[in-house]
Structure 1
Amino acid sequence: MRDNAGKCVKSDAFITDGFCRWNDLKSFSGHVGGVDSFHNNAVMKCENLMKQGLAFRGHDESENSVNRGNFVELLKYTADQNEVVKVVKNVIEEINHDVFGLLVDESADVSDKEQMAVVFRFVDKGGIVKERFMSITHVSETSATSLKFAIDDLFAKYGLSIKRVRGQGYDGAMGASCKRKDMIRENYRKEIMEEINNGEISTGTGLNQEISLQRPGYTRWNSHYRTLLRVIQLFSSIIKLQEFNDRFNEVNTELLICAASLSPIDAFTEFDLSKLLRLSEFYPDDFSLGELISLEQELCIYIDNVRHDERFSNLENLGDLARMLVETRKHMSYPLVYRLLKLVLILHVATTTVERCFSAMKIVKTYRRNRIGDQFLNDCLVCFIEKDVFKTITNETVVTSFQNIKYRRMLL
């Protein structure tokens, strides 16, 4: 390697001990070669990243590492300039203009900014159910109207149609848990006042204080005990809420019962033609009147076929059924049945994927990096969460992408 004067010096120390003066750009740029060399071009790109305060140390950047660090992950993300490997574009291609479900939740980051995470649930061309992280967006407030506008903007940005959405899960993001707590407090207050008026309980200093449900702690098990005590105290007030009835009303319950008729367990013993036809009626935009008539005939042929096919004998869930239908090409023989199956599969059971996005956000945007901008945070999360997509990006693609970027100072 060369010193600051351009003379060659022994590089054994660098090889054995590594390079430790990362903040010294002059020292770092001493080993660059000619002005037009590829090495010099690469060093200039590294300097750009260093000017952003990007950490180069403290990560395992080996090929077998699970987390290769910010530099390597963002280096790969630069390949986003290539439309072929663009994550959002890949997801939209996987959806293939088909129906999909929408998962939305919100949470505050370390800088107390409300962030809305969006995940799509869909069945890909191979019959595999997938949930893909699409975006995290800063929202000024968490009201239903504000989240709706943010979702509309996201759909408009990527040319998606809300008409293709067949399931929505918000995990309380558009609800108001504080209002439910207020309802519990008010119901409890009314009960106490009624008991006092009836002479069932006495009054006095420190008695009959206002209480509410207590959130259990993560490290104190005795807090779980106190939570259970509060539930017992407030149980009569809690059961007056209508949340379970709202989430599992008669329509939703019937939908789930009908969907269970598609189950492949025990040689499709749950199959019920009338329930499946009723299930299709929940989707008037997906089945025309003529297709409903054809669906009845198709279901009769379909169930006889799969029951006599050994490849379908040990399936355990609807996801396995969809995958096997594609593998055996039966999804082409029974397109209406497969369409009905996909509509059931994109219904949301849980919002675990969105919660994982917020867990990733806490890793990327920490107290020491709490000034990360919204777009940069979104880009980092795409790299962090959708690692399997970036595994397909080759080193040659990254190098070519860097070569095509003009050298310029990058502002924070």
Structure 2
Amino acid sequence: MEIGPVPIAASQSLIIIVVTLAHRRRRTDPGLREKISSYHPNNHDEIRICYLGKGPCQPPYDYPVSYFSGKPRRFRAEWCVTRNWLEYSIAKDAAFCFYCYLFGQVVGKQGGGDTFVMKGFKLWNQLVKLDSHVGRVNSAHNQAVKKSEDLLKEKQHIQSVLVKQSNQDKAEYRVQLNAIVDYHNESINEVLQNTWKNCKLTHHDIQKDIVNAIAHETSKVIIEDLGNGFFSILVDESRDISVKEQMALVIRYVNKKGIIIERFLGIVHVASITAWSLKCAIECLLCEYNLSLLRLCGQGYDATSNMQVTVVGGSCKRRDAPRDAQFAKIKEDLEKGVRRSGQGLNQETNLKHPSDTRWGLYYGTILNLILMFSAVVDVLEIIEEDGLSDQKVKARSIMRSILTFEFVFALHLMKNILGITNEMSIALEKKNQYIVNAMDFVKVSKQRLQVMRDDEWISLLTGVSSFCATHDIPILNMDEIFVVSGRPRRNTQQNTNLHHYLVELFYTVIDMQLQELNNRFSEVTTDLLLCMACLNPSNSFVAFDKEKLIHLAKFYPSDFPGTNILALDSQLQNFIFDMRNNDLFLELQGVSELAEKLVSTRKHKTYPLVYLLVKLTLTLPVATATVERSFSAMKYIKHELRN
């Protein structure tokens, strides 16, 4: 009988079946399947449960023969009887570990490293290596087995907890979701339209859609609350779990009640963190919410730090090691009479992890490193001796870097510079810091840095040389030719050590610091900040200065044209007379309290131009502390929910 052509639909189905079977074989054969890490992180546990349900791949097969030293050897099915973790790949004629594939982490060369996960074990004449892979109780293999068992334990699995919740819990959950839907009815109804009947409310995709819908509705409320008022933005960037750059934007404004509001507006993916990409991303996000750049009166940007102290802090044992080494050093000094003893002296010290947003902690880290230098070197020597291979390399590299004159010089130079600016940093980190005092600290820091540049080179060099002598670090001759580490002399510019350390480092670093202070606190910026301080209501408006406030208004000609400036003059006189004779305003502390009180007493309607100055003052992110606090509050979003 002649068979006609296969219908198109049937041929497509046949192709799908063939492709599906081929895909299943790739997932089943341990030599062909993808790494667990190649799948989306949200699906890892589901994939593992699927594999655990099927069990190890131990196919009945006529295993091929390989020859070792002229003797035939091959994989044997009976090996799987006593080793329930063992898998065989027909494609690679190799053995694999089922549990290490699901949960294993390669730790050096223990148990063959990644041989039983990716490469495959083929040495059929060395059966003992199968057992050595299992290792001791706390081996990587046994930890992987334990994780697999825990995943399958019904009572420990989070999905089971959600499924087994009581009817009362479900009812309360439904009430909460109904409340959310009622509040954000328009957007979320569309998301939840088909989820109730399918009972998919706990699925991560549905929950993600709900959160996005809520975020959109919340952003709309924020924009309505802002109205046509001034606002500033606070911007932060970091990478998500997929190593994609993300920019988070917070908006800062004064609401209709006179309260300062900082609200998370959104996250934007950017191709790379550059000035142009940031500008484009910010403009797009603001345009999405119809926010005019003309109302943007301030910008604050957070910067990430790449300083990490992880080689020593990797384990409890290593965290204790610097303390023990420092204790031994103090004891030795006390016995020799080098160090005095007494109440409050020789307190326990440890290396601080420098905060990305608090320069005072960098200063504390440097001080502790100088104090504990010998202990740090001792611990690095221990890691270099008995650490894992990659830790040994890191420890050796760090040792090579810190036991040099150049490192000690940089350490002491930064200690002196951060010591000069430390009081200023602390002042700017205080939320209610009186701005005039902060400007005084800026002025003092500039003067001290200039004195250091002019007169303190010799004292710095003396201190560095003394430190090097104490810790057996070679001291450089300043008259010799400077040689860049790792490069032959002929490729370096013929400068002396004195020129390198004095001109290229000492002068350059101090000049950069002075330039940064001048840029951040220029004459115009300082003038602006001092004018803002005149609105402070503390001590019966003792800082009030009408002329400076009029000068402040002139910084914003579009909001204070000529006629408004003339009106402001008279309004400020009436305002200060009213404030000093009104008991409701005598105990206020800070401009933020003044704004709230003006709104609550309706006097913001009486003095609209003064209130406009108050809102401008509050909207601007004057100190970095304001920016940093807002991003500290976002830590959970950045590192937990977003990832």
Normalised-by-shorter TM-score class: 0.5 to 0.7
Cα drift, residue 355 of structure 1:
4.0
- Corresponding position of 1:363: 640
Structure-2 change in CA distance of 1:294 and 1:43 (3 Å): closer
Contact 2:233 2:299 in 1 (8 A): yes
SS in 2 for 1:119: strand
Cα drift, residue 108 of structure 1:
1.9
The match for 2:247 among 116, 123, 147 is: 116
1:37-64 deviation line (CA, Å, top 9, x unaligned)? x9x9765353264274x8xxxxxxxxxx
Alignment coverage as a number of residue pairs = 281
Contact 2:231 2:296 in 1 (8 A): yes
Cα drift, residue 156 of structure 1:
1.6
- Corresponding position of 1:401: none
1:121-163 deviation line (CA, Å, top 9, x unaligned)? 1000000011011001111111110000001111221111111
The percent identity for this pair of structures is 35
Structure-2 change in CA distance of 1:89 and 1:272 (3 Å): same
In 1, distance between residues paired with 2:588 and 2:198? 52
In 2, distance between residues paired with 1:149 and 1:96? 23
Question: Unpaired runs of 5+ in structure 2?
Answer: 1-153, 171-177, 179-192, 308-350, 356-360, 372-407, 418-505
The match for 1:126 among 240, 245, 257 is: 257
- Corresponding position of 1:265: 538
Contact 2:366 2:411 in 1 (8 A): no
Structure-2 change in CA distance of 1:132 and 1:222 (3 Å): closer
Cα drift, residue 75 of structure 1:
8.9
Cα drift, residue 354 of structure 1:
2.9
1:194-226 deviation line (CA, Å, top 9, x unaligned)? xxxxxxxxxxxxxxxxxxxxx963699877623
Contact 1:101 1:166 in 2 (8 A): yes
In 2, distance between residues paired with 1:256 and 1:144? 26
AA at the equivalent of 2:203: M
In 2, distance between residues paired with 1:44 and 1:132? 35
Cα drift, residue 353 of structure 1:
0.9
The match for 1:233 among 410, 413, 428 is: 413
RMSD: 3.8
1:223-257 deviation line (CA, Å, top 9, x unaligned)? 76237964423553532212111111111100011
Q: Is 1:146 matched up with 2:277?
A: yes
- Corresponding position of 1:319: 592
The match for 2:353 among 217, 228, 239 is: 217
Structure-2 change in CA distance of 1:21 and 1:138 (3 Å): closer
- Corresponding position of 2:197: 44
Cα drift, residue 284 of structure 1:
1.0
- Corresponding position of 1:194: none
- Corresponding position of 2:234: 103
1:287-346 deviation line (CA, Å, top 9, x unaligned)? 111000000000000000011000001100000000000011000000000001101110
Cα drift, residue 266 of structure 1:
0.3
Contact 1:117 1:354 in 2 (8 A): no
Cα drift, residue 102 of structure 1:
1.2
TM-score under structure 1 length normalisation: 0.60
Structure-2 change in CA distance of 1:308 and 1:227 (3 Å): farther
Contact 1:25 1:47 in 2 (8 A): no
- Corresponding position of 1:332: 605
- Corresponding position of 2:583: 310
Structure-2 change in CA distance of 1:78 and 1:342 (3 Å): closer
SS in 1 for 2:251: strand
TM-score under structure 2 length normalisation: 0.39
In 1, distance between residues paired with 2:534 and 2:365? 44
AA at the equivalent of 1:245: N
AA at the equivalent of 1:138: H
Cα drift, residue 79 of structure 1:
6.5
Contact 1:216 1:227 in 2 (8 A): no
Question: Unpaired runs of 5+ in structure 1?
Answer: 1-16, 33-37, 55-70, 179-214, 367-412
Cα drift, residue 169 of structure 1:
1.0
Contact 1:107 1:358 in 2 (8 A): no
SS in 2 for 1:166: strand
Structure-2 change in CA distance of 1:355 and 1:139 (3 Å): farther
Pick 1 or 2: higher relative contact order, CA cutoff 8 A, min separation 6: 1
SS in 1 for 2:203: helix
In 2, distance between residues paired with 1:249 and 1:51? 50
Cα drift, residue 115 of structure 1:
1.1
AA at the equivalent of 1:118: L
In 1, distance between residues paired with 2:281 and 2:158? 44
Q: Which has the larger radius of gyration?
A: 2
- Corresponding position of 2:631: 354
